[in-house]
């Protein structure tokens, strides 16, 4: 061999195995991240105490206009697809009503608080966001699964924190049409 080193060619088998293993790791990782990322857009603005009075009126009007039935003594509020829906967090309460939304439809959730920091958490809908006093948030989201889901507070807000539970019902559009016909 005259003192020269022999150049080896590219090991194509090793390259192919490496690429297959890398794809086997990267593709499931991307899928996992996409499935656990929120499917909503959030905007926020500062508000004053006076703004909250008008906000409370919007909540009351939404409940009065869109109540379709009662369940366990609470109104079931079914706003039209694409409409604005309102939640006002206060004193360990999300409001004395249950939201009923349609699967696959876009909604704009307006969220404010009267008393302290709160955080809306509906894991199955990938809906999680914090709200502070003096702040107003609009969360655009699309419920992707049907069912009944509990709305929890994800920010410790005092002694009654564990009792701060609301409910969102997501129905298939066909079922929603049947409810409207009643």
* Domain residue spans of the chain: 38-181
- Answer yes or no: are the C-beta atoms of 114 and 89 closer than 8 Å: yes
Q: What is the pLDDT of residue 82?
A: 87
| Domain covering 38-181 in this structure, CATH number | 2.60.40.420
Query: Residue 109: what pLDDT?
Result: 92
Sign of torsion over alpha carbons 172, 176, 177, 178: positive
pLDDT of residue 30: 72
Q: Are 135 and 114 in contact (CB under 8 A)?
A: no
**pLDDT reported for residue 163:** 85
| Edge-to-edge order in the sheet of strand 40-46 | 40-46, 135-141, 107-113, 84-89
Torsional sign, CA 139, 79, 116, 148: negative
The pLDDT assigned to 75 comes to: 95
pLDDT of residue 3: 57
C-beta separation of 94 from 124 below 8 A:
no
User: What's the pLDDT at 54?
Assistant: 82
User: Could you report the per-residue pLDDT of 4-39, keeping only the tens digit for each?
Assistant: 667 677 788 888 898 898 888 888 777 766 555 556
- Phi and psi angles of residue 96, each rounded to the nearest 5 degrees, phi first: -95, 55
Q: How far apart are CA 113 and CA 4, in angstroms?
A: 78
pLDDT at 45: 74
Burial of 14 (0-12, 13-18, 19+ CB in 10 A): exposed
Q: Three-state SS for 111? A: strand
- Three-state DSSP class for 64? helix
Structure tokens at 12: 């194509």
- How many other C-beta atoms lie within 10 A of the C-beta of residue 129? 18
Predicted local confidence at residue 119, as pLDDT: 87
Q: With a cut of 70, which residues of the chain have pLDDT below it? A: 1-5, 7, 32-40, 174-182
């Amino acid at each position: 061999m005259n003192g020269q080193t022999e150049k080896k060619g590219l090991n194509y088998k090793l390259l192919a195995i490496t690429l297959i293993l890398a794809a086997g790791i990267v593709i499931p990782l991307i899928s996992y991240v996409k499935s656990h990322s929120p499917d909503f857009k959030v905007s926020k603005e500062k508000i004053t105490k006076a703004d909250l009075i008008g906000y409370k009126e919007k909540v009351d009007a939404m409940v009065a206009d869109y109540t379709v039935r009662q369940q366990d003594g609470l109104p079931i509020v079914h706003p039209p697809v694409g409409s604005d829906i309102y939640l006002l967090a206060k004193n360990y309460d999300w409001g004395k009503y249950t939201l009923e939304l349609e699967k696959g439809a876009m909604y704009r959730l307006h969220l404010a608080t009267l008393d302290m920091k709160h955080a809306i958490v509906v894991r199955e809908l990938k809906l999680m966001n914090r709200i502070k006093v003096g702040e107003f948030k609009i969360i655009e989201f699309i419920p992707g699964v049907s069912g009944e889901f509990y709305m929890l507070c994800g920010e410790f807000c005092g002694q009654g924190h564990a009792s701060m539970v609301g409910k969102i019902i997501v129905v298939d559009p066909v079922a929603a049409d049947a409810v409207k016909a009643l």
